[in-house]
Amino acid sequence: MFDIKLSAHLAELSKLSFTETELYEVTKEMNEIVSLMDAVSDFTATEALNTAAAVGLDQIRADVKCDSTPRSEILKNAAKSEKNAFAVPKVV
């Protein structure tokens, strides 16, 4: 795994400077990251992941038609409108 010598070498290659205390902390954190990545690489899925949270068609709400909000009502929120649409400044 990571040791102080490897951390110092990588810091030098990366043009980073650490105090001795910071170098020990970085080494500790890198060891934790490598351990986590080892645990992730050992993971095996026991079921198909893309279907584990599928929703059946019987669980979807019914599509109910309803009237839209009138355009004049929506345009009351606009700071400026032109030709029944929101008007915004041109950005180039």
pTM: 0.46
Per-residue pLDDT of the chain (92 residues; tens, 9 = 90+): 789 999 999 999 999 999 999 999 999 999 999 999 988 888 776 666 665 566 777 778 888 898 999 988 999 888 888 888 889 988 88
Domain ranges of the chain: 4-41
3-state secondary structure of 18: coil
Give just the sign of the alpha carbon dihedral 43, 45, 51, 55. negative
> Among residues 32, 31, 23, 18, which one has the least CA distance to residue 4?
23
Cβ neighbours around 82 below 10 Å, total: 10
What is the rounded CA–CA span in Å between residue 61 and residue 16? 56
